[in-house]
A and B are shown apart, each in its own frame.
Chain A
Amino acid sequence: MSTGAAMRVGAEAVEFKGWYGAHKYLILRRVTQLAVLGIFLVGPWFGLWLVKGNLASSLTLQILPLTDPYVLLQSLVAGHAPELTAITGALIVAGFYGLLGGRLYCSWVCPINPVTDAAHWLHTRLGIQKGWQPRRETRLWVLAMTLVVSAITGTIAWEFVNPVSMLHRGLIFGIGFAWMFVAAVFLFDVFVSRRGWCGRLCPVGAFYGLLNDKSLLRVSAISREACNDCMDCYEVCPENHVITPALRGHGDATPLIMSRDCTACGRCVDVCALDVFRFTHRFDHHTAKDAEAISHAA
């Protein structure tokens, strides 16, 4: 479809599936992000203490401890032996994301995600060049750096500058000048580097990406035969290198997006007018073509 490129990204999907159908996961994601923030806020705002604390560590309904495993890892290498509550909480969180999908944190929970999504929207509207594009593995180096600095200084080092926790904590406990770190990330993504923060530098995302290797929830290019090369999925995907192996694979190559960088945001599912993508689990290697073959055989 040569006109696809001239149309606005996703216009075709809106035409085929309706506005809601073409934004289903985006809306779900915003609702989830707001809900996660909301359950932390109803305590301080309305005295309804469902959850106390913040994403670094929290206590739900006075019983369930949850702790960010990345923060606790820094604490460990800094030489602190944490108490059992924090360790239990970190194991629960790591287990949840490890099982379900590591980078679900990035696209469904992280408060910086709407910020960088907004930055990307503005970046596109302003038609800015993609700018500085460090390698995607850079975030793993940054992750390693934060652990080394934690070990050397004996502090939880990344928490001094982490815009993720600063924003989340700031919204719940008072933000001070932490909004500057958030604004810095926004400006960085708009003007300096397209999808630069979440896609290339953030060590929190890198950490949760490591938890993504074995997790169950996957996006599958199940109907890849139907793809008409409109490239809309590549346009909306924050980590668009993950699409190619699944979408462009032939024959026995799995249609599953197996890269640890996939945040399972579901934008590709939304934006595809031909419903090439859908959510499934990591053992579901079949394609629409297989299903067809089976039904023909039967």
Chain B
Amino acid sequence: MTRKADTSTSPKNPQRRRFIGDVARVAGGCAAAGFLLSTYAIEARQLPAEALRPPGALPEKDFLGACVRCGLCVRDCPYDTLKLAELGGLGPATGTPYFTAREVPCEMCDDIPCVAACPTGALDKGLDKIDDARMGIAVLVDQENCLNFLGLRCDVCYRVCPAIDKAITLQRTHNTRTQKHAVFSPTVHADACTGCGKCEKSCVLPEAAIKVLPVRLARASAAEHYRLGWEEKERAGGALVPDIIDLPDRVPGDGAFKPLMELPEVSQ
């Protein structure tokens, strides 16, 4: 009865058993802590929409592996635009630099001192012209409250835009309410918008009608196979399909065109 029980309860090498036990405990504990830390790190990638990164910031996923949170960009920002995120709330990853357009927008310095100050390259030194920065894209998020859309001439976002007439233009359309005035709708052109946030900062409404959003939220993307006929035509220097065959239109009845119904209001 005792022959086997003895060998299993008293190990040949208790030292070794203890060592393995200790290592297992430490490794297990570290693995558990590592899982928690990983979850936290991955969640931190979700940058809040109001928080804009400094010019030249790498994409958020790479940024968190590159930024050491030293705050040198913050120190060299002459307008106190940038700050380091403090822990708590739903801010960006703790200690990383950001700005809130509605509070202090980016003044788009020509020499981009924040990028020059970055020791690690989290702010890419490849950015040599501030006009090429893409901190976000301005979007007119609320046409119903925008004064210009209501037919007034506020124009403030357009006037303050450092890339006026390129990043924001005023598109003139008919004012259907008054029937005799024009609506000058502020229109953002993403190819020229740096996301500096001056428009959002200066929107006169209590809550801005135009907001700078991260590119991921602001932009759609065309399907890869889409081709715009007019662009293709221009590139080709003429119609892509020569001699298009114009078949005779087939209409029901005797061939004469008749609308399906008469719209009462429409007077021609």
A91 at the interface (CB under 8 A from B): no
How far is it, in angstroms, between the C-alpha of A137 and the C-alpha of B45 when the chains are bound?
A: 31
Query: Contacting chain B: which of A1-9, A106-114, A174-182?
Result: A174-182
Within 8 A of A (CB), among B7-37: 22, 26-27, 29-31, 33-34, 37
In the bound assembly, the distance between CA atoms of A75 and B66 in angstroms comes to: 6
Residues of the B chain whose Cβ atoms lie less than 8 Å from the Cβ of A81: 121
CB <8 Å contact, B125 and A83? yes
B84 to chain A, nearest CB (A): 5
Q: Which of B67-75, B98-106, B169-177, B218-226 contacts A (4 or more CB under 8 A)?
A: B67-75
With an 8 Å Cβ cutoff, the count of chain B residues facing the other chain is 46
Which residue of B has the minimal Cβ distance to A154?
A: B65
List A contacts of B88 (CB < 8 A): 176-177
Assess whether A144 is interfacial by the CB under 8 Å rule: yes
Given A80-B62, A178-B94; A67-B68 close (CB under 8 Å): yes
* Interfacial residues of chain B within 108-127, with CB under 8 A of chain A in the complex: 117-122, 125
Given known contacts A52-B75, A56-B69, A72-B68, A149 and B119 CB-to-CB distance under 8 angstroms? no
User: Chain B residues near A82 (CB, 8 Å)?
Assistant: 66, 119-121
Q: Which of A149, A155, A158, A174 contacts B86 (CB 8 A)?
A: A174
User: Could you jot down 11 A-B contacts, CB within 8 Å?
Assistant: A52-B71, A54-B69, A54-B70, A57-B120, A75-B65, A145-B33, A149-B41, A154-B62, A155-B41, A157-B41, A176-B85
The CA of A269 and the CA of B29, in the complex, are separated in Å by 36
**B87:A173 contact, CB within 8 angstroms:** no
Cβ-defined partner of B40 (8 Å) among A85, A137, A160: A160
Q: Which residues of A contact B37 (CB under 8 A)?
A: 145-146, 149, 157-158, 160-161
Q: Tell me how far the C-beta of B15 lies from the nearest C-beta in chain A, rounded to whole angstroms.
A: 15
- Residues of A124-174 at the interface with B, using a CB-CB cut-off of 8 Å, are 134-135, 137-138, 141-142, 144-146, 148-150, 152-161, 165-166, 169-170, 172-174
Q: Please provide the 7 A-B residue pairs with the shortest distance between their CB atoms, ordered closest to farther.
A: A176-B86, A78-B65, A177-B88, A57-B70, A83-B121, A85-B119, A155-B64
A79 in the interface (beta carbon within 8 A): yes
* B85 nearest in chain A by CB position: A176
Q: Are A138 and B62 interface neighbours, CB within 8 A?
A: no
A165 to B69, CA, bound (A): 9
Most buried by B among A43, A59, A158: A59
Which chain B residue lies CB-closest to A175? B86
Q: Are the CB atoms of A172 and B71 closer together than 8 Å?
A: yes
CA distance A83 to B30 in the complex (A): 31
Nearest A-chain residue to B40, judged by Cβ: A160
Q: For residues 59 through 87 of chain A, which have their beta carbon under 8 Å from a beta carbon of chain B?
A: 59, 65, 67-68, 71-72, 75, 78-83, 85-86
A53 CB–B CB distance under 8 Å: yes
In angstroms, Cα B44 to Cα A135, docked, is 31
Which residues of B, 33-90, contact A by the 8 Å Cβ criterion?
33-34, 37-38, 40-42, 44-45, 61-62, 64-72, 74-76, 83-89
Contact B84 A169 (CB under 8 A): yes
B62 touches A67 (CB 8 A): no
Query: Out of B64, B65, B119, which one reaches A86, CB within 8 Å?
Result: B119
B167 at the interface (CB under 8 A from A): no
With a 10 A CB-CB cut-off, give which of A169, A173, A181 has the most chain B CB atoms.
Answer: A173
Q: Is B95 on the interface with A (CB-CB < 8 A)?
A: yes
Are B34 and A145 in contact, with the CB atoms below 8 A?
yes
- B209 touches A (CB below 8 Å): no
Q: Which residue of B lies closest to A180 (CB)?
A: B87
Collect the chain A residues with CB atoms within 8 Å of residue B75's CB: 43, 49, 52-53
